[in-house]
């Protein structure tokens, strides 16, 4: 024994810049379109929602963007996050594969989300913004923005998908502990919310509806901006700190990945671990397969269409080209709330289209089964979202076992499941069921996609 | 800014031995007594409950005890835990004091408890034990032993205080995720449990009762031993890794403590942070005040008697000399379940009697108020138990502000509160009340203390 299991990085070696994949893409991603004119969006179109520094990052083609010192100072509370060699899991699986995971659950909010919430809060504070609105599903993003807002003295107002608001009171308590206000969505406070409530008073909400509400509130007040926890380029950019650290830590372990895995709901933690390795892959310095994992119940990448669509239900957002199930598609209830979104980050969709990334889908019970195996071997209880990456990593390790190959597998464990233990209780009780995918609902939603001239 | 906020340690500098304060005490602590003969206990008296290696640690007078490599290997998953300079909290308090905290919430179970559960599971496995029994209150200890048991292939059976079993389903789910069995106590499985249920069928349980049940079950089977999460010398010993690391990390920060603070229920996290500094204090190399903080609702150190008493309700354990409210004292319900125990570690009691440690008591609302202040400044949400240490640290910082003194304050943040968010919800709703201390109940319980000849 006595082998190293955890890799950190010294302060001096911690990455000082975020990586922008757009700079290295052989084919540029399609531009976002104005929802009214259907013309490519200009920076000023986004100004009601975001401060200029964030808009510039959203459209940037620079390869590296410096992480401001006040952001790095807060990152230091938990970053660099550990890279862990899962030796006990390897042994339990009896695989020749080497399994490494990057553990983002060490952040104060328990997930990777503060990597961007801290950056967004900083840029908003610098721009004189007093108040941020946002949406949250399972609550990882909401609690992360609440955390960041408290550090930068910003008011934070969070529209939480109603079913999660009711089912996850502890997440709500965490947001309130950080001083944020949490509102069940759909709410009577916005036009978007009132319209939904008028049509379906019993609506349990969706991320698409909550986004509409948060965007509407932000657009109304000069001192208020909107913050998004995934999907957009600048959010993915901020998450690349994960992959940049992992690359240095893997090098310290004397390893290079053959497989890189992340779960993908909006796509930000996946992009965070994957994009730095895609850069190396594009430059011919890395030959890793890169796998994005989603739930079979909300199979955006594996069953959706690559098309222009709205990010929200009320169609207040720009149109972006992405893998989508249609903005009117209502994902069924399942435990990985963070993966319950109709679309996928445009940049992630683009690299899938370019053949750089393999999408894969799993049902939830096989993911929880993998997460329990990880917990009993390595002690860490994964969030339901992250359990999808665990499942894929275990399957890749079992493939290595079958073929006798000693590959190196890297996956991102994006957050801990301490706020999601009800899902584990249900899993052990046998009451956790896999949700059948509704093909008819998909066809209906896809038929309602906006018509955009080629 | 750009100042360091987090201190770690390189692998090479991580402490390789636990520190045994008994070796340096000017006055030896009073011995434990056999509950039948009232004579000092011999190692063989403990053999039904513990493996010999642990018994030898329990009675050891050696200064340093090597941490076995398989234990260190698991420690590396989260250790060294970070020492954090709470610069934002200092700023929020406008104090000249320097506040540092050691953060034990980074362990897989979210608290300091795995420092000893991993060691205990290792020694039991080495001794050929197949099954461990234990008790748990709030669930921090139970989940930590479940975690350790899963890594060493031991069955773990946990008697959980019934009210916590009902109120904290997520903690139970965590134990089950690690493969342990969780039984509400009092249970019909043991003589102790049946006796309580016969007398008070509606009993919501207590740590003292749960200990009786776990001890009784362990004594019945040769392949089964008992594990305790606090109070005993060997448990405190294993926790000294906290203070040893903190001392090195503080030196890296160029600081030496003027005040060292820990909360104390059974006393193990307090001993963990404090005992290494007490060694330095006894050697004249440190002049820090050392403060142990408890709840006013269960004021063992500040209102209990220093006397021989049983560790459990059914009087199956040895008699130890400690600050006690009497083993028949039933602490009222409050949120810091880990501080809800009638006694205090004999070694902690002894150093209080020797004048080396100041005890202090706080009511729960003032502790939650301090924890919210910490969360909004530093992002970390403290467990209800740990919030007592936060309150004391803030009060010491405010004392420094009043006197203009730039002292260095070190406190142990023994765990995160992610499993205890109901307490925060109650606090914000105003439904969290301070519990009046029941003087008559104390007098009655003290009158029932066992009679031990001087």
Write out pLDDT tens, residues B16-65: 999 999 999 999 999 999 998 999 998 899 999 999 999 999 999 999 99
Cross-chain residue pair B418–A174, CB shorter than 8 Å:
yes
Q: Does A169 touch chain B (CB under 8 A)?
A: yes
Residue A92 predicted with pLDDT over 90: yes
Cα nearest neighbour of B152 on chain A? A377
CA triple A208-A214-A216, angle to 5 deg: 100
Least confident of B8-12, B66-70, B157-161, B242-246: B8-12
Q: Is residue A223 part of a domain?
A: no
For A108-137, the pLDDT digits (tens) are 999 999 999 999 999 999 999 999 999 998
Domain interval for residue A389: 72-110+234-447
Distance (Å, whole) CA B413 – CA A243:
30
Number of domains in chain A: 1
Q: What pLDDT band is residue B154 in, cutting at 50, 70 and 90?
A: very high
Interchain CB contact of B166 with A (< 8 Å): no
In a domain, B96, yes or no: yes
Residue B386 · residue B399 · CB < 8 Å: no
Q: How confident is the model at residue A15 (pLDDT cuts 50, 70, 90)?
A: very high
* Percent of chain B predicted with pLDDT > 70: 100
Instruction: Give the confidence band of B167 by pLDDT, cuts at 50, 70, 90.
Output: confident
Q: Which residue in the block uniquely carries the two structure tokens 């909401």?
A: A142
| pLDDT reading at B108 higher than 90 | yes
Nearest-by-CA chain A residue for B2: A73
- Residues A188-209: what's their mean pLDDT? 94
Residue of chain A nearest B421, judged by CA positions: A170
The mean pLDDT value for B383-394 works out to: 97
> Cβ–Cβ of A174/B147 closer than 8 Å?
no
pLDDT at A301: 98
ipTM beyond cut 0.90: yes
Share of chain A above pLDDT 70, in %: 100
Give helix A268-282 / helix A233-252 axis angle, nearest 10°. Answer: 60
Instruction: Show the tokens assigned to B288.
Output: 């820090």
Cα dihedral B322, B326, B327, B332 sign: negative
Name the E strands within A315-383: 319-324, 358-362
Would residue B243 count as lying in a domain? yes
Instruction: State percent of chain B over pLDDT 90.
Output: 87
Q: What is the mean pLDDT of chain B?
A: 95
pLDDT: which is higher, B276 or A206: B276
Stretch A219-228: mean pLDDT:
95
Q: Residue A132: what are its φ and ψ, rounded to 5°?
A: -120, 140
Q: Which of residues 334-373 of A touch B (CB under 8 A)?
A: 372
Please tell me which of the candidates A77, A376, A424 has its beta carbon nearest to residue B150: A376
CA distance B379 to B375: 4
- Which residue's entry shows tokens 């506040």? B99
pTM of the predicted model, to two decimals? Answer: 0.95
CATH number, domain with residue A355 = 3.40.50.1100
* Residue A104, domain member (yes or no): yes
Q: Single out the residue of B393, B369, B298, B391 nearest to residue B338, CA to CA.
A: B298
The reported pLDDT for the residue numbered A1 is 40
Specify the pLDDT at position B101. Answer: 98
Whether the Cβ atoms of residue B119 and residue B238 lie closer than 8 Å to each other: yes
pLDDT value at residue B269: 98
Q: Is it the case that residue B2 has pLDDT exceeding 60?
A: no
- Residue A331 falls within a domain, yes or no? yes
pLDDT per residue as tens digits for the range B323-375: 999 999 988 777 777 788 899 999 999 999 999 999 999 999 999 999 999 99
What DSSP letter does each residue of A10-60 carry, written as one string?
A: -GGGS--EEE-GGGG-SSPPPPPB-TTT-SBPPHHHHTTTS-HHHHHHHH-
**Residue A363 pLDDT:** 96
Is residue B297 included in any domain, yes or no?
yes
More confident residue, B128 or B5: B128
A166 interface with B at CB cutoff 8 Å: no
What's the pLDDT band for A334 if we cut at 50, 70, 90?
confident
- Window 187-216 of A, Cβ < 8 Å to B: none
Q: Is the dihedral of CA A307, A308, A310, A311 positive or negative?
A: positive
Q: What is the pLDDT of residues B395-453, one digit of tens each?
A: 999 999 999 999 999 999 999 999 999 999 999 999 988 988 889 999 999 999 999 98
Q: Which of A66, A67, A148, A170 to mutate to test the interface with B (most CBs of B within 10 A)?
A: A170
Subunit contact A151:B178, Cβ cutoff 8 A: no
- pLDDT tier at B1, thresholds 50, 70, 90: very low
Examine residue B136 and state whether it is found in any structural domain, yes or no: no
Is residue B130 assigned to a domain? Answer: no
Q: Do A424 and B177 touch (CB under 8 A)?
A: yes
Give the pLDDT score at B336: 77
């Amino acid at each position: 024994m006595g082998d190293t299991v955890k890799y950190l990085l010294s302060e001096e070696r911690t990455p000082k810049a975020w990586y922008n994949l757009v700079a290295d893409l052989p084919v540029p991603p399609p531009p976002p379109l104005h929802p009214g004119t259907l013309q490519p969006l200009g920076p000023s179109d986004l100004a009601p929602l975001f401060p200029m520094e964030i808009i510039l990052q959203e459209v940037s083609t620079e390869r590296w963007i410096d992480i401001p010192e006040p952001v790095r100072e807060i990152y230091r509370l938990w970053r660099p996050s550990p890279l862990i060699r899962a030796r006990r899991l390897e042994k339990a699986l009896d695989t020749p594969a080497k399994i490494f995971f990057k553990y983002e659950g060490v952040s104060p909010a328990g997930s990777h989300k503060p990597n961007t919430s801290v950056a967004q809060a900083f840029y908003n504070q610098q721009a004189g913004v007093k108040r941020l609105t946002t949406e949250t599903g399972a609550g990882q993003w909401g609690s992360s923005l609440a955390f960041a807002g408290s550090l930068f003295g910003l008011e934070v107002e969070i529209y939480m998908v109603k079913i999660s608001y009711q089912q996850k009171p502890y997440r709500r308590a965490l947001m309130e502990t950080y001083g944020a206000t949490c509102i069940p969505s759909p709410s009577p406070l916005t036009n978007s919310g009132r319209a939904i409530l008028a049509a379906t008073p019993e609506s349990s909400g969706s991320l698409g509806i909550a986004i509409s509400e948060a965007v509407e509130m932000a657009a109304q007040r000069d001192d208020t901006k909107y913050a998004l926890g995934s999907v957009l380029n600048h959010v993915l950019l901020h998450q690349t700190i994960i992959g940049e650290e992992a690359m240095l830590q893997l090098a310290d372990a004397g390893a290079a990945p053959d497989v890189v895995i992340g779960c993908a709901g909006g796509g930000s933690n996946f992009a965070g671990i994957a994009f730095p390795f895609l850069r190396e892959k594009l430059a011919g310095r890395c030959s890793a397969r890169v796998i994005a994992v989603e739930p079979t119940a909300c199979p955006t990448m594996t069953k959706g269409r690559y098309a222009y669509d709205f990010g929200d239900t009320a169609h207040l957002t720009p149109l972006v080209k992405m893998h989508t199930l249609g903005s009117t598609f209502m994902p069924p209830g399942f435990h990985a709330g963070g993966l319950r979104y109709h679309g996928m980050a445009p940049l992630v969709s683009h690299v899938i289209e370019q053949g750089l990334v393999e999408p894969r889908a799993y049902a939830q019970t096989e993911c929880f089964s993998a997460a329990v195996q990880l917990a009993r071997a390595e002690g860490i209880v994964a969030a339901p979202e992250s359990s999808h990456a665990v499942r894929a990593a275990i399957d890749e390790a079992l493939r290595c076992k079958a073929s006798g190959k000693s590959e190196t597998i890297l996956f991102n464990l994006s957050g801990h499941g301490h706020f999601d233990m009800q899902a584990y209780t249900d899993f052990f009780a046998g009451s956790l069921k896999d949700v059948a995918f509704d093909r008819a609902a998909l066809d209906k939603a896809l038929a309602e996609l906006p018509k955009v001239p080629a």
